[in-house]
Every structure is written in structure tokens, then in C-alpha cells.
Amino acid sequence: ARRVRRGDVLRNAPYLVVPCLVMDGSHTYGDARRDGAEREMFVVAAGAGVQNLLVALAGERLGSAWVSSTMFCRDVVREVLELPADWDPMGAVAVGHPAEEPRPRTERDPGAFIEVR
């Protein structure tokens, strides 16, 4: 029950965005190492795109939450959303107005998590 409740943020959101990894434009090198690196590069770019979306939503004073669940049932998501077979759902982003203002955060010392060499 606790695990199912974690999905409430998606079920209760007024809008959902399902970012998908699409390998259009990628290169095929013919060896597993380079082909794997090409896909990995696209996965990193998709993550950066999701992060940019979250930042843009915050700039519009909208609440958002990225949830990875669609990555565990990609075939179901493709079928329900009628997506092409080569689109890989990369989680889902719940979007709506925040229930409350964010709590103030304590200031952090960047030296605690940034290493300069």
C-alpha cells in the first residue's frame, strides 16, 4: 500500500508530462562499446532536458515532481499513450500548482559538496 501511495503525486496531478528518449539522429557504429556510449549520451541528454523542464516550471511558479515509474513499464506506457515502439518513456513529471509555498531551506556551504582540483 505504501508503494502504491507513492504514485498519488501522478494520479492527483492536473497535468502529466511523459518525456521520451528517441534515438533519432543517433549514430550506429557497429560495435557494442560505441553503440552503448551513444545511447548513454542520449540518456544523459534526456535527463538534462527533464531537469530544464523542472527549472522552467519552477520559474513559472508551478510545482513539479519527476517520478521514474514509467521506466519500469515502458511497453504499457507506449500502448496506453499510443507511442511509437522506439520511444522510451523516461519517467513522468507531475505538474500543477503547489499545495503550499516551499519551506525555507538552510543555506548550504558549496565547499561541502564541490571538489575543486
The whole-model pTM stands at 0.82
At 3-23, the pLDDT tens digits run 778 888 889 999 999 999 999
- Domains of the chain and CATH, by start: 9-101 (3.40.109.10)
CA angle 60, 61, 62 (to 5 degrees): 90
18-61 residue pLDDT tens: 999 999 988 888 899 998 899 999 999 999 999 999 999 999 99
